[in-house]
Amino acid sequence: MHGEALLTHYGLSQQSYPSYYIPSSTTFAEAVFTGLGYGLVPDYQIADRFQQNALLEILLECRTDVKLYWHHWKQQSPALQQLTQTILEQAEQHLNYPIPI
């Protein structure tokens, strides 16, 4: 995601700047919060930091929507049907766009 944003908005290929891989989204966000680098971090992970004026959004034009998918069997047990419904409801409540149900 980060490489695509820098290439799209600034024409920078991944070989033209240093980059590191941090496999955990929480750890990645903490690295950004502590000043170890820059990065695209989901709104839900940074909302409180913006309210505290602890972060500065420097690339407004780089906001990126990421499609999420919930894969499941068409025929589900009642428990899995309830789980699917709960996930869809929570996603719609906490993410930035409506979920087609």
* Domain residue spans of the chain: 1-95
Residue-level pLDDT at 40: 84
∠ CA 30-37-13, nearest 5°, is 130
Query: Over the chain, what is the mean pLDDT?
Result: 84
Q: Kindly report the pTM of this predicted structure.
A: 0.62
Read off the pLDDT of residues 21-52 as tens digits, 9 standing for 90 and up: 899 989 999 998 898 988 888 888 888 888 88
Classify the C-alpha dihedral 51-88-83-40 as positive or negative: negative
CATH of domain 1-95: 3.40.190
